[in-house]
Structure 1
Amino acid sequence: MIKHIFSDMDGTLLNQHGKVSPGNTTAIQQAGIPFTLVSARSPRQMLEAIQTLKLTAPQIGFNGGVIYQVKAGQLQVIEDAPIAFEVVKQVVDLMEAHFPDTGFSLFGLTDWQVTHMDDGIAFFQEDMPQKPTVLDPVFWEQPEPIYKITFCVLKHDVMDGIVKLLQAAKLPGVAMQKSSDIYLDITAIAAKKSRGVNYIAKREQLDLSETAAFGDGPNDIPMLKLVGMPIVMGNGLPEVKQVARYLTADNAHDGVGRGIEKFVLGE
C-alpha cells in the first residue's frame, strides 16, 4: 500500500501551460495520500501549486537543497543544504573578473537576487512569479543562505566560456548541471531529489516500498529508483522510461492524476 507520493513538477505534474490541471488536482485531493512536490524550483516558485493542491506534507525544493512545509502561508524549513558562503563569493568574484557584463541569479529561501539585469535575466523573469532584486553590497556583511545559483545566458559562446571557467575553478562541495543550452544551475552537492525523498521517508517512518514517485527527466532517475512504485510520464525520455514500473499519460493529459487512479489506488 502506497502511503506517500512524490512528484516532479515541470514536465510531470504541471501541464504545457505550467499549471496544475483540474484533473490532477481532483485526483490528488481525492486520493488522500500525503503528496510531496520534488523540484529544482525555489519554494516561492512552488507555492502556487502547493496552494492549488492544498498540500500539508513536507515539500522538496532546489532539487533537495531544502525540505520545508507551508503553514499558515509561511515557509518553515525542516532541513537544508545551502551552498557554502565562500563558494557563492568565489562564483561572484570569478564572474566579475571574467564575464562582468553577464548577470546571474542567487536564490535564497524566498528571495531572488541578481548581480545585475541583462537580457538573460529579462528572459528568465518572464516565467517567474516574482521580480528579482539587484544584489546589495550589504549582503556580504550579513549573508543569508543561498541554495541555487542560476545562469540564464542567451549567447551560446558566452555560456560555453562560463561553464569552462567554473569547471576549471573546481568549486568545492557543489554540483553543476545544465538543464538546457541557456540554463546552468549550481547547487550544493548534497542537494539531490533522492536525498529529499529518503529524508522524508525516514522522518515519517515509512518503508520505501510504501512510496511512489512520478518523473520525466534524467534528474528524476535516482528518485524513481529509490521508491517502491516508480511511474514515468508518457512524455518522459527513453532512458527514464527504462526505470519505470508503470507508464502513465503525458503531462498535458493529467498523467499524474491518471497514474494515481490506475496504479497507486488500483493495486
Structure 2
Amino acid sequence: MTIHYIFSDLDGTLLNSAGQVSVANQKALAACKLPLTLVSARAPQEMQSVITKLNLTTPQIAFNGGLVFQPQADKPAVLSKSTIDFTLAGRLLTVLKLYFPQISLSFYDLHNWYTERIDKEIRYAQKLNQQPITQLQPATFFSQRHHEVFKIMLLTFDLNQMAAVNDFLAKLAIAGISVQQSASYCLEITSAQAKKSRGLKYVLQQEHLTAIMTYRC
C-alpha cells in the first residue's frame, strides 16, 4: 500500500507534553516529503507555530472539524466551517456562569480567544497553546451580531466540578452542540456538525483521495 497523504492529531500525538513538535518528529516529517494535514480541537492561531515550523501549505482542520482552513501569512482562509448558533452560544455562557461560577469559561471566534476572567486555568492553557487572550464582558461580544463562535471551553482542575458540569450538560441535551472532554481539566463545546471525520472527508474529497485504513495513536 502506498501512502500519499498524512493526517495527524496534535495534542498527545504529534506534540510532546510541553506542547512542542520534537526535533525527531520534525525531521521524520521532512524526510517523508508527504503532504500533512493537522487535525485538532485547537484554534487555527494555536496551530500556527506548528504549521510554520513544518512549513505546511496544505488544508488544516481546527475546532474538532468545525473549521477547515488554508494557512496564509496574515489570517486563515476558510474552506469549510460549522459554528455554534450565535444566540445559543451566548445563552450557554450565561447559564454556565450562573450554575458554575468557579469554572473557567472562554470562547473562540475565527481569530481570537476571549474570556471574562483570567484565572489560573486560563494561564495554564496559555502556557500550552501560546495564544494571547482578549479579556471582555461576553455581553459586549454578543451585542454584535456579526460575530461567530466556533468553540466554548470550560477549564477546571476540580474533578468533581468537571463531573458535575458534564452531567449538567448531558441532562440539558441541547440540540445543535457537541460536548467533548479533551483532557481531565478541559471540556469543549462545538457545533454538532463539528466532527474531525467531516474535516477529514472534506480534505480527502478535495485531494481526490480515498482512506483505505485508519490508525489511531
- Give me the TM-score of the superposition, normalised by structure 2: 0.89
Which residue does 2:109 correspond to in 1?
Answer: 108
**CA-CA distance at 1:8 after TM superposition:** 0.8
Q: Does 1:191 align with 2:175?
A: no
Which residue does 2:56 correspond to in 1?
Answer: 55
Which residue does 1:45 correspond to in 2?
Answer: 46
Structure 1: 5+ residue stretches without partners: 209-226, 234-267
Cα root mean square deviation, aligned: 1.9
Q: Does 1:138 align with 2:140?
A: yes
Which residue does 1:84 correspond to in 2?
Answer: 85
- Give me the TM-score of the superposition, normalised by structure 1: 0.74
Which residue does 2:172 correspond to in 1?
Answer: 169
Identity %: 35
**CA-CA distance at 1:99 after TM superposition:** 2.4
Residue 206 of structure 2 aligns with an amino acid whose one-letter code is R
| Mapping of residues 116-131 of structure 1, within 5 Å | 116-131=117-132
- The 8 Å contact of residues 87 and 171 in structure 1, kept in 2 or not, is answered as no
- The 8 Å contact of residues 103 and 115 in structure 1, kept in 2 or not, is answered as no
Q: Does 1:97 align with 2:81?
A: no
Q: Can you list the C-alpha shifts for 1:103-155, whole angstroms capped at 9, x where unaligned? A: 31101222110132333323322323123222343211214211111111122
Report the number of matched residues: 214
- C-alpha separation between the residues in 1 aligned to 2:19 and 2:113? 20
- C-alpha separation between the residues in 2 aligned to 1:100 and 1:17? 29
Larger Rg, first or second structure (1 or 2): 1
- The 8 Å contact of residues 19 and 128 in structure 2, kept in 1 or not, is answered as no
Q: Does 1:230 align with 2:205?
A: no
Q: 1:93 to 1:9 in 2, by over 3 A?
A: same
Which residue does 1:149 correspond to in 2?
Answer: 152
SS state of the match for residue 74, structure 1? coil
SS state of the match for residue 183, structure 2? coil
**CA-CA distance at 1:166 after TM superposition:** 2.1
- The 8 Å contact of residues 102 and 118 in structure 1, kept in 2 or not, is answered as no
- C-alpha separation between the residues in 2 aligned to 1:141 and 1:232? 42
- C-alpha separation between the residues in 2 aligned to 1:164 and 1:66? 27
Runs of 4+ in 1 over 4 A off after TM superposition: none
Indicate the larger mover: 185-194 or 28-37: 28-37
Q: Can you list the C-alpha shifts for 1:144-192, whole angstroms capped at 9, x where unaligned? A: 2111111111223322332232222222211111123321111111111
- C-alpha separation between the residues in 2 aligned to 1:151 and 1:56? 31
Q: Does 1:33 align with 2:17?
A: no
Where relative contact order (Cα < 8 A, 6+ residues apart) is larger, the structure is: 1
- C-alpha separation between the residues in 2 aligned to 1:87 and 1:168? 16
